[in-house]
């Protein structure tokens, strides 16, 4: 039963990129191809590009990814808890609530610390 | 009770097994046929969506929209596709070719993959995965990756900036979205999308309207549509992560965005509007497809309505709105729903719905009141006279 | 060989090959992308073992969050993408020996554990495994302590990471 489901997902994973790939391959056959130096230039609204593309990003992006990672891990844990809700006593529900409350404490800490400000 | 899809599938399976194929091979071939038919239909629908989009935006802006090619301009999207197909494909210098070509393919493929678990009519679903909801989140994660790949491999500063903005927005809004998705899971006691549809005797939009709203908002942010289209702000970073893509490769990003919006509609319908359910669907299962599409297109229209009505928001507002409003609200909502659901065990359906509805309304109104207080303070702060730089005054020589 | 075995060998080859490319790629972003392929291979293993929840959790957490975090971290550095320094140095022999010793130790440990050679009891197929997992996570005779400790641990991780990365003068 479960194996069949994952077989379906597996077949889908193999087939899903094929149609978009075909859409990219057709222009290869019928579209003109006359590359030249100017045409292949990096597009910057007509300005010539200066320096390297590799620019140093601010730490802010990293912080948001970090907070996201923590939340993501915690929330994935909560899904089985929600699925088992029927058989859980009130006590077990409150354990889940405590779990989320600790999560909220983390959010409040990041907020107070100013890590959620975009500067 | 039987529907055409099941009949055809059973007939094909019998035919394949009759040819002496092993059951495993027969299943794989059957799956592949089903997937290809569904994907092809979705892509045809996608081409049609271009027309819907242009026609609706025209009406919002008091125009007619495409009306020359065919009745109501219906052939216009086909002309668009032909144009995209015969347009020269330019790869910028210094691009990372493999990654550059893989990104648009992945973008559209992930949208197609979402349909694997969306039930389209009673008993007909790609596969009823028992971790369906998390599967949707996982596929969304791959879509995020495709955008990083596109932005990084283009060898363009604007593309890289756009990709980073997009990814920051997508991962930020994934948090309230995952919490909002948890609420229907909690109500249905299952992660399978089919189970969630079946368990909706009363549509979940009545039991969890706030979760539905949060899901809709964060989904709009996820696909980067206005007002969350700062990721492709023309005045700042030209077009964002797909700036260097031309022809069909750009077309795939565009098609992916449109189909993703409709997929969000279908998901919203399945999770909060009862999916394929509607009058007479048990007798004639095919009606389910129409009900699902009607609901999905309604949500699609709402997304367009929002897109063409609201201005673009700034990046700091976008992040503040997510982390300081949506996420705390969603977390509190989750706690309140969990406790109330357990406390109301054994009460009648009417009481259950009324209490849940009331709880949602109170929480949303409370959150809005807090936000309004903050907004008025913020307005005062911004409105205060700022110190202005003045040129040094020439010293006046005193005359005696 | 059964089809499952063939699939296992194929996926294992891709996973290991991708892992090799991670350490072999000169471009840091390429290394991160290969790492994602490797993570995906592990997710396929989970799916093949019918551990659906672990498979999607692997994709959501490792590909969706950790890989993104890594790419952001790479982007914060100043142009180290085109690293042209030699890939081997004088301690390669010692490294190889240490790696082999570690691998041999792990194999020995796994083989000496009785669980590795006995077939475990099949799960009750009627009950939903995810529901069982969920109630085990919060039941007092299950993993409730680990469950709550995980939350504390993640809170600690968040606080610590912010202390280090978000040092505002």
Q: What is the pLDDT of residues B101-114, one digit of tens each?
A: 888 999 999 999 99
CATH architecture of the domain A2-113 equals Up-down Bundle (1.20)
Task: Domain ranges for chain C, please list them.
Answer: 1-87
Burial tier of B357 (Cβ tally within 10 Å: 0-12, 13-18, 19+) = middle
Interchain pair C64, B149: CB under 8 A: no
Res C124: pLDDT:
67
Q: Which residue of A has its CA nearest to C142?
A: A92
Interchain pair C154, A80: CB under 8 A: no
Smallest Cβ–Cβ distance between C79 and the set A3, A52, A70 belongs to: A52
Interchain pair C162, A115: CB under 8 A: yes
Give the range of the structural domain holding residue B242, as residue numbers without chain letter. 90-314
Res B2: pLDDT:
62
Interchain pair B131, C53: CB under 8 A: yes
Smallest Cβ–Cβ distance between A80 and the set C50, C137, C162 belongs to: C137
Mean model confidence pLDDT for chain A? 81
User: Measuring CA to CA, which residue among B261, A70, B252, A10 is closest to residue C47?
Assistant: A10
Interchain pair B90, A39: CB under 8 A: yes
Interchain pair C128, B190: CB under 8 A: yes
Smallest Cβ–Cβ distance between B189 and the set A26, A85, A100 belongs to: A85
Sites in chain B below the pLDDT cut of 70: 1-2, 231, 233-236, 397-400
Bridge-partner residues for B124, per DSSP? B121
Q: Which residue of C has its CA nearest to B141?
A: C64
CB atoms within 10 A of CB A44: 14
Euclidean distance between CA atoms B370 and B324, whole angstroms: 11
CA distance C107 to chain B (A): 32
B219 belongs to a structural domain: yes
A46 falls in which pLDDT band (50, 70, 90)? low
B304 belongs to a structural domain: yes
Q: pTM of the prediction?
A: 0.88
Judged by DSSP in three states, C29 sits in helix
Judged by DSSP in three states, B124 sits in strand
Res C81: pLDDT:
52
Res C169: pLDDT:
43
Q: CB contact, 8 Å: C60 with chain B?
A: yes
Q: Measured at the alpha carbon of residue B293, what is the angle toward residues B292 and B298, in degrees to the nearest 5? A: 100
When pLDDT is averaged across residues A105-111 and rounded to a whole number, the result is 86
Tens of pLDDT, residue by residue over C58-103, are: 999 998 888 888 888 887 776 655 556 666 777 888 888 999 999 9
Smallest Cβ–Cβ distance between B331 and the set A27, A86, A100 belongs to: A100
Res C104: pLDDT:
94
Q: CB contact, 8 Å: C166 with chain A?
A: yes
CB burial of B65-102 (b: ≥16 within 10 Å; e: otherwise) equals: bbeeeeeebeebbeebbeebbebebbbbeebbeebbbb
Q: CB contact, 8 Å: C13 with chain A?
A: no
Q: Which residue has the tokens 């058989």?
A: A87
Res B46: pLDDT:
87
B window 235-274, beta carbon within 8 A of C: none
Tens of pLDDT, residue by residue over C119-156, are: 777 766 667 778 888 888 888 787 888 888 888 888 88
Interchain pair B174, C3: CB under 8 A: no
Do B183 and B174 form a contact (C-beta atoms < 8 A)?
no
Smallest Cβ–Cβ distance between A83 and the set B87, B185, B316 belongs to: B185
Which residues of chain C does A6 touch, with a Cβ-Cβ cutoff of 8 Å?
47-48, 50, 52, 55
Interchain pair A27, B86: CB under 8 A: yes
CA distance B129 to chain C (A): 8
Res B233: pLDDT:
66
Interchain pair B238, A45: CB under 8 A: yes
CA distance C91 to chain A (A): 32
Smallest Cβ–Cβ distance between C150 and the set A9, A67, A77 belongs to: A77
Tens of pLDDT, residue by residue over C2-60, are: 888 888 899 999 999 999 888 888 788 888 899 999 999 999 988 888 888 889 999 99
Res B55: pLDDT:
87
C window 121-150, beta carbon within 8 A of B: 128-131
Smallest Cβ–Cβ distance between B191 and the set C72, C75, C130 belongs to: C130
Q: Measured at the alpha carbon of residue B341, what is the angle toward residues B336 and B344, in degrees to the nearest 5? A: 120
CA distance A82 to chain B (A): 5
Q: CB contact, 8 Å: A78 with chain C?
A: no
Domain topology for C1-87: 1.20.120
Res C97: pLDDT:
92
The residues near B240 (Cβ < 8 Å, ≥ 6 apart) are B151, B158, B159, B162, B163, B165, B166, B224, B231, B232, B233
């Amino acid at each position: 039963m479960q194996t069949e489901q994952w077989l379906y997902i597996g077949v889908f994973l193999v087939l899903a990129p094929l149609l978009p790939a075909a859409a990219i391959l057709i222009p290869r056959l019928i579209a003109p191809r006359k590359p030249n130096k100017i045409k292949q230039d990096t597009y910057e609204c007509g300005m010539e590009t200066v320096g390297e593309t590799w620019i140093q990003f601010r730490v802010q992006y990293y912080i948001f990814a970090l907070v996201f990672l923590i939340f993501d891990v915690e929330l994935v844990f909560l899904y089985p808890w929600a699925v088992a809700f029927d058989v859980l006593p009130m006590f077990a529900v409150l354990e889940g609530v405590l779990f989320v409350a600790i999560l909220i404490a983390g959010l409040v800490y990041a907020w107070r610390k100013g890590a959620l400000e975009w500067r | 009770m039987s529907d055409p899809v099941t009949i055809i599938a059973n007939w094909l399976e019998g035919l394949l097994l009759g040819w002496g194929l092993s059951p495993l091979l027969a299943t794989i071939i059957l799956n592949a046929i089903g997937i290809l038919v569904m994907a092809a239909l979705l892509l045809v629908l996608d081409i049609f969506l271009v027309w819907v989009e242009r026609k609706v935006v025209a009406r919002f802006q008091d125009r007619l929209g495409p009306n020359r090619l065919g009745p109501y301009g219906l052939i216009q999207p086909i002309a668009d596709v032909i144009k995209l197909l015969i347009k020269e494909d330019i790869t910028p210098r210094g691009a990372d070719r493999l990654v550059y070509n893989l990104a648009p393919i992945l973008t559209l493929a992930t949208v197609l993959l979402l349909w694997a678990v969306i039930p389209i009519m009673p008993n007909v679903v790609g596969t009823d995965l028992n971790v369906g909801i998390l599967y949707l989140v996982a596929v969304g994660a791959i879509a995020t990756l495709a955008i990083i790949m596109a932005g990084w491999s283009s060898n363009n500063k604007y593309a890289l900036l756009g990709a980073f903005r997009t990814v920051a927005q997508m991962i930020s809004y994934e948090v309230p979205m995952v919490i909002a998705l948890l609420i229907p899971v909690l109500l249905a006691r299952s992660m399978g999308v089919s189970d969630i549809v079946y368990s909706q005797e009363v549509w979940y939009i009545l039991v969890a309207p706030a979760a539905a709203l949060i899901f809709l908002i964060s989904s709009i942010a996820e696909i980067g549509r206005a007002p969350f289209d700062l990721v492709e702000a023309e005045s700042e970073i030209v077009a964002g992560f797909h700036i260097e893509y031309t022809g069909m490769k750009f077309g795939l990003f565009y098609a992916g965005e449109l189909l993703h919006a409709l997929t969000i509609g279908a998901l919203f319908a399945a999770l909060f509007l009862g999916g394929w359910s509607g009058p007479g669907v048990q007798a004639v299962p095919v009606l389910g497809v129409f009900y699902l599409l009607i609901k999905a297109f309604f949500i699609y229209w709402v997304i367009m309505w929002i897109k063409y009505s609201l201005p673009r928001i700034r990046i700091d507002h976008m992040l503040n709105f997510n982390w300081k409003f949506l996420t705390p609200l969603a977390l509190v909502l989750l706690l309140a729903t969990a406790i109330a659901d357990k406390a109301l065990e054994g009460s009648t359906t009417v009481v259950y719905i009324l209490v849940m509805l009331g709880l949602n309304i109170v929480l949303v109104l409370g959150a809005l009141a807090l936000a309004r207080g903050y907004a008025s303070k913020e307005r005062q702060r911004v409105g205060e006279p700022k110190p202005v730089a003045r040129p040094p005054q020439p010293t006046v020589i005193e005359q005696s | 060989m059964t089809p499952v075995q063939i699939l296992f060998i194929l996926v294992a080859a891709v996973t290991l090959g991708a892992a090799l490319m991670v350490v072999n790629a000169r471009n840091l972003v390429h290394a991160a992308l290969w790492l994602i392929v490797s993570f995906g291979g592990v997710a396929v293993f989970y799916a093949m073992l019918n551990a659906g929840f672990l498979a999607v959790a692997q994709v959501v957490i490792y590909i969706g969050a950790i890989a993104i975090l890594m790419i952001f971290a790479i982007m914060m550095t100043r142009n180290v993408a085109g690293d042209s320094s030699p890939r081997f140095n004088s301690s390669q022999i010692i490294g190889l020996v240490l790696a082999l010793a570690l691998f041999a130790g792990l194999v020995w440990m796994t083989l000496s554990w009785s669980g590795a050679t006995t077939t475990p009891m099949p799960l009750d197929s009627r009950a939903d495994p995810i529901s069982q997992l969920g109630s085990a996570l919060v039941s007092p005779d299950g993993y409730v302590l680990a469950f709550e400790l995980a939350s504390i641990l993640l809170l600690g991780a968040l606080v610590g990471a912010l202390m280090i990365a978000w040092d505002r003068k």
